Amino acid sequence: MGASGSGRLDRASADHEAEARLLSHVRPPDWVNPAPRDRYDLVVIGGGTAGLVSAMGAAGLGARVALVERHRLGGDCLNTGCVPSKALLRSARAVREARLAAGLGTAGSHVAADAREVLRQVRDLRAAIAPNDSAARLTAAGVDLFFGDACLTSPETAGVGASVLRFRRAIVATGTRPALPPIPGLADVPFLTTDSVFDLADLPRRLLVLGAGPVGCELAQALALLGSQVHLIDIAPRVLPNEDPDASALVARQLAADGVDLRLAARVERVGREGSGVRATGSGAAGPLDVDADAVLVAAGRTPNVESLGLAAAGVRTSAGGVVVDDRLRTSSRRIYAAGDVAIGWKFTHAADASARIAIQNALFYGRRRVSALVVPWCSYTHPEVAHVGLTAAEAARSGAGALTVPLGDVDRAVLDRDAEGFVRVHHRAGRILGCTAVGPRAGELIGYAAEAMRAGRSLGDFAGAVFPYPTHAETFRKLGDAWRRSRLTASVRAAFARYFAVARWLP
């Protein structure tokens, strides 16, 4: 057998091994559900981030806990979201860095990515991280783990197969799944979502991405760098439409530079087969839309997993957004709480984690912690990254808040890295931070400074007094603090200082 055939077999074997390792942790093939105990302090439905944090946290406090998962532990974050996507983005970033090598005074050349190898490594890394969300870790913590479809049969019981779990409290943490837009013909063509794209053996030569939100932009950019011809379509007039318009413009410019064909303010009206591929037709601001591709990737939002849970039987109300909860995460049934994507507006792993911690305290200890008190930042991991916390630019403008902006071109580390496209913008009132947008290669790290300052009630003036290592991107916040202090030096203040120094010069 030739080398290329041997290589294909080796990769197929490695993929099979990675999948087997993953399942051994998140859905062991030989798993036998335990016999239910008399009554649980807490039953958790859903084994994603919110469910795992709820179960592990409650068990760590000494509670008797059961967790039910219908598919794989780890939820979207491990299996189809944060973990595989960030592994993919790292490989794409390596391609960009290699292409930019000549501009750094080193040998630069065209780099062709081995997409099959990249995808294999993504699956391997996912399996490597899986022990953190594993069945073994849960059982070692004392959690009774049940695999199967959970159904609430009353306000204090849940069924899993033939087992009945009685509980004092329950937390619904069933998450969300990719939403499918009502486009005629879409269901009749092979399409991808985040649930399936990371299982590809190779990348499609031509890819149509529907949706220019964070997921669509991240994957479109990464897959274009890795070799696909990508068309990105959205009805919105700009990418990342919920972010600062200046941030959207920077990302759009970089997407185009990385080879993504942007079709914005465009509506796909029909999708159908075209030979062995797919054709999307519609209309847009630039005229008729007609795009051919080998595959379609749908990145058009999420829909909550609330079906078949028996929520109505338990007296739990739902809406189009998921399980209806109050500010303390309690549902309309007093014994049942909900956490994570199925219940809160922030659809992020870190927000799911934070909400689960609130749900545990309020459910088990009659706590009074509120979701509205959280300060939750987020980040789109495009290049440049776009991170945000608090008021948006539009909300800040309506509230009359002031704004201060430091371009990355004023930050020495960004200049030295030859990556100074971006900015950090703070919206404030009298120096108190109300919102912040960071755009740049380390925006996801920088936004934590603003989020913590907001949570702790710190002001921009506090940043002026902070000492950051030089040269770092973190210095951006010292520059914002300095800018705030300079803004307070009005003409009258300067005149007062001038009078003081005029007198001081005559003093001993």
At residue 494, the pLDDT reads 79
Q: What are the structure tokens assigned to 280, written together?
A: 């999307």
Spatial CA neighbour of 387 closest among 332, 447, 333: 447
Q: How far apart are CA 439 and CA 425, in angstroms?
A: 9
Range scoring the smallest mean pLDDT among 265-274, 318-327, 346-355, 499-508:
499-508
Banded model confidence at residue 11, pLDDT cuts 50, 70, 90: low
In the chain, pLDDT over 90 holds for what percent of residues?
86
Q: For 392-411, what is each residue's pLDDT tens digit?
A: 999 999 999 999 999 999 99
- Average pLDDT (272-295) is 92
Spell out where 352-451 has E strands: 378-380, 385-390, 402-407, 423-429, 432-440
Query: What pLDDT, on a 0 to 100 scale, did the predictor assign at position 367?
Result: 87
Q: What is the rounded distance in angstroms from the CA atom of residue 217 to the CA atom of residue 199? A: 19
Give me the pLDDT at residue 10, please.
59
- What b-and-e string marks burial along 30-67, b requiring 16 or more CB atoms within 10 Å of the CB? eeebeebeeebbbbbbbbbbbbbbbbbbbbeeebbbbb
Phi then psi dihedrals of residue 183, to 5 deg: -95, 120
The per-residue b/e assignment along 83-94, b for 16 or more CB within 10 angstroms, e otherwise, is bbbebbbebbbe
pLDDT surpassing 70 at residue 289 = yes
Residue whose pair of structure tokens reads 């469910």 in the numeric block: 51
pLDDT score, position 308: 92
- Predicted confidence at residue 496, as pLDDT, reads 84
The residues, any chain, with a CB within 8 Å of residue 128's CB and separated by 6 or more, are none
Q: Is residue 492 pLDDT above 50, yes or no?
A: yes
Q: In the structure encoding, which two tokens stand for residue 288, read together?
A: 């008729």
3-state secondary structure of 317: coil
Quote the tokens at residue 298.
């749908």
pLDDT band of residue 36 (cuts 50, 70, 90) is very high
Amino acid at 99: R
Which two three-digit tokens encode residue 56?
Answer: 């592990």
In this prediction, residue 366 carries a pLDDT of: 87
- The DSSP annotation for 247-311 comes to HHHHHHHHHHHTT-EEEESEEEEEEEEETTEEEEEEEETTEEEEEEESEEEE---EEE--TTS-T
Looking at residue 108, its pLDDT comes to 63
Given a cut of 90, is residue 89 above it in pLDDT? yes
Tokens representing 427 are: 């919206």
In this prediction the pTM is 0.92
Residue burial 338-355, b: 16+ Cβ < 10 Å; e: rest: bbbbbbbebbbbebbbbb
pLDDT value of residue 1 = 34
Task: For residue 493, name the pLDDT band (cuts at 50, 70, 90).
Answer: confident
Q: Quick one: DSSP state of residue 417?
A: T
- Residue 2 has a pLDDT of 40
pLDDT of residue 202: 93
Query: Structural domains in the chain?
Result: 15-178+304-373 (3.50.50.60), 186-300 (3.50.50.60), 384-487 (3.30.390.30)
* Average pLDDT for the chain: 93
Average pLDDT over residues 139-151: 97
